Structure 1
């Protein structure tokens, strides 16, 4: 073909064309998701890590504007540098959402005293929606003279009586809350209860256990204030003690700390147990136990561990963790005979 004759022009892809194609691809992906039935979209939104991500999908299209209302799991997380905006967001979100069923409500938040009533309102909203799993992790903050947020990990957010009167709960996790029920505890369907960083006395524990007739698992993490743990409930089968805090101005006296739990099948004692004496009064039904805690001076540690091991000779399997294994080795070097039911790590620390 000679020069000058008409030739078909070869189209050269511009950056604008590429952007348009990318947008079209994104739109196609969005269209494919939007074509799914509502139940499938709700399932996708339920798997998002936080509720704010589900709420953010309202901008995708009119179809998505109200879909997030049906998401049964609500999870709100607050970092200590975004407090005012966080509380406004949660208020707005729960105001916009109808009182539809809530399976799981998670609140992991830093707060100041002025926000306590708003948190109460959020918990009440979840309860009004017949929430089954409630998970509260609360940290109190204060400003110092330099206007810096100070986070108190051991907050004591006061749980209102309406929390203790809710019968829809099945799974409860509390961290940084204070327990002072003014009436009866009515946790008729609770099967698992985890309490972290709380002062608990024997009366409060008794109220909780008597008001939780189907409770199966009780876990106390870094709690304090009680010298005796009476778990006489026939339903509780697993007891976990993850640390026991020796708080200032709290005296243990000569009695130390003892556990009376004749019906439990599994016992775990782990992390820092700040006690001079620790004994098992009655764990006659126990089938398995795990000891992986650290405690006091070497002499106290050895004495306490030896006593626990001997009181667990009737148990089928007693698993010894890394911390206790070191102490067990010292005891054996002094002539202690290891019971046959002990299971130790193959490679101890």
Structure 2
């Protein structure tokens, strides 16, 4: 048996072994993808093994919140794109810039994403509405056929970025669009009142349309579409008409202004598979009755949901239809959870809850004090 002092010395040597550096590059790079790119670059100080390892990262994840000045952030982006290994795999770009970003920087980011056929692209920044060059810079993003995940937000751009009439993204599964404009094909027949940007996205399952604009009615269709969110902020004074053709929809959220153009014909199919819905709608006084009828029509489509979230204002508008001639309230036989969001100014009355609960004996009701989402959107914009 070895003496105690020798065993302790061997244990100390084992503790000093850098086991992390003994892992293969592929494992280390996988671990590094959980870091921001700035954090990953900082690993170069750990030793010779780490000096150039970050250059093979398949991701670029950066936010200006991690930099003292915007100029440092922009310079960092350029340096990373310049020095990373151009022949290594690259599949994810995520840029978050709480401010205006120069079109030259945007162009480098987009060009790198296109040339490397990324699978995920996230971009959130302010664009100058008078900079026509921005509209040209971001156009190629919407034709990266390898994309599976797309999340773009062009704040303060006055809907400068216009989507092509049809997104040529056959692999796209999840998509979030904020502050973009839907456009139609110049060769389209004037009699065609709909734009169909997602007609080629056959794998699309999740779609968020957030404060977007459209000169024509929007058609959203897809047999694989299961999650749909539509938001309209204060700058969308008269939200565009939309038609949803998604027979397998499981989750639907609507937040914001509801006008006469968002009529009861929103859904082309019965929503037999819809499991959850969230409605926080703000109706115009000028056509309140039309909106009430529209909401009532939606609720009938939602009759199979198990979870329903609704704001107090929308519930009050719905309850006002009770007792009207030829109006039957929706029947939520499968409802298990009802969440009502209200602020201090709009109380929730029992007769209003009756609209939802009269045919839902198993539903649990939760009334929470919270600012409606549409109000939060208006304050942030």
- Which TM-score bucket, shorter chain as reference? 0.7 to 0.9
1:84-95 equivalences in 2 (<5 Å): 84-95=71-82
* Runs of at least 5 residues in structure 1 that lack an aligned partner in the other structure: 1-24, 142-151
**Alignment partner, residue 236 of structure 1:** 225
CA distance in structure 2 between the partners assigned to 1:55 and 1:42 by the alignment: 12
**Alignment partner, residue 66 of structure 1:** 52
* CA gap 1:311/1:162 in 2 versus in 1, 3 angstroms: closer
Q: CA deviation at 1:275?
A: 3.0
**Alignment partner, residue 83 of structure 2:** 96
Q: Is the 8 A contact 1:78 1:108 kept in 2?
A: yes
**Alignment partner, residue 94 of structure 2:** 106
Instruction: String of CA shifts for 1:144-192, please: whole Å, max 9, x gaps.
Output: xxxxxxxx9xx99424332222111111001017433579742121111
Which runs of 4 or more aligned residues in structure 1 lie more than 6 Å from their structure 2 counterparts after TM superposition?
none
Q: Is the 8 A contact 1:291 1:318 kept in 2?
A: no
1:199 lines up with 2:178 in the alignment: no
Matched position secondary structure for 2:109 = helix
1:215 lines up with 2:204 in the alignment: yes
Q: CA deviation at 1:267?
A: 5.0
1:340 lines up with 2:331 in the alignment: yes
Q: Is the 8 A contact 2:224 2:246 kept in 1?
A: no
* CA gap 1:182/1:29 in 2 versus in 1, 3 angstroms: farther
Matched position secondary structure for 1:328 = helix
CA distance in structure 1 between the partners assigned to 2:81 and 2:284 by the alignment: 51
Superposition TM-score, scaled by structure 1 size: 0.73
1:284 lines up with 2:266 in the alignment: no
1:314-325 equivalences in 2 (<5 Å): 314-315=301-302, 316-317=304-305, 319-323=307-311, 325=312
Matched position secondary structure for 1:341 = coil
Q: CA deviation at 1:108?
A: 0.8
CA distance in structure 2 between the partners assigned to 1:29 and 1:197 by the alignment: 53
**Alignment partner, residue 373 of structure 2:** none
- Paired residue total: 304
CA distance in structure 1 between the partners assigned to 2:62 and 2:299 by the alignment: 43
CA distance in structure 1 between the partners assigned to 2:306 and 2:286 by the alignment: 22
* CA gap 1:174/1:331 in 2 versus in 1, 3 angstroms: closer
**Alignment partner, residue 252 of structure 2:** 268
**Alignment partner, residue 162 of structure 1:** 140
* CA gap 1:295/1:184 in 2 versus in 1, 3 angstroms: closer
CA distance in structure 2 between the partners assigned to 1:329 and 1:299 by the alignment: 17
1:187 lines up with 2:172 in the alignment: no
Residue of structure 2 aligned with 1:118, choices 89, 97, 105: 105
1:33 lines up with 2:20 in the alignment: yes
CA distance in structure 1 between the partners assigned to 2:42 and 2:282 by the alignment: 48
* CA gap 1:88/1:188 in 2 versus in 1, 3 angstroms: same
Identify which range, 199-208 or 168-177, moves more after superposition. 199-208
CA distance in structure 2 between the partners assigned to 1:35 and 1:268 by the alignment: 48
Identify which range, 269-278 or 84-93, moves more after superposition. 269-278
Matched position secondary structure for 2:283 = coil
Matched position secondary structure for 2:19 = helix
Q: CA deviation at 1:116?
A: 0.6
Q: CA deviation at 1:58?
A: 0.4
Matched position secondary structure for 1:271 = strand
Q: Is the 8 A contact 1:197 1:221 kept in 2?
A: yes
1:313 lines up with 2:313 in the alignment: no
Q: CA deviation at 1:224?
A: 2.3
Q: Is the 8 A contact 1:219 1:240 kept in 2?
A: yes
Q: CA deviation at 1:134?
A: 0.4
Q: CA deviation at 1:273?
A: 2.2
Q: Is the 8 A contact 1:167 1:188 kept in 2?
A: yes
RMSD of aligned alpha carbons: 3.5
